[in-house]
Amino acid sequence: MDVILKNVKKKDFPVLKSLAKSLGFEIVEEKPYNPEFVKEILQGQKDIKEGRGIKMTMEELQALCK
């Protein structure tokens, strides 16, 4: 079974980590996405909603990748 803890305060994390280790749990820390990357993705979605995107055929896209 997986348990996910969210919004853990930095001061509480060492205590939880120690408790989990003493109980033999595996701890996996996920790294958050790069904030600049998230900003670019959200801006792209906003641009598309506002009609600033372009449509391309598959052939045009493949030509760009060559």
Instruction: Report whether 5 contacts 16 (CB < 8 A).
Output: yes
Q: What is the pTM of this model?
A: 0.44
Residue whose C-alpha is closest to residue 29's, from 64, 4, 57: 4
The reply to whether 39 falls in a domain is yes
Instruction: Report whether 41 contacts 34 (CB < 8 A).
Output: no
Q: How many domains does the chain have?
A: 1
First to last CA, the chain: 46
Q: List, for residues 13-54, the tens digit of each pLDDT value.
A: 899 989 999 999 988 877 888 999 999 999 999 999 999 988
The reply to whether 2 falls in a domain is no
pLDDT for position 11: 94
The reply to whether 3 falls in a domain is no
In the numeric block, which tokens belong to residue 12? Answer: 């509480």
Residue whose C-alpha is closest to residue 19's, from 36, 37, 5: 5
Domain region containing 40: 13-64
The reply to whether 7 falls in a domain is no
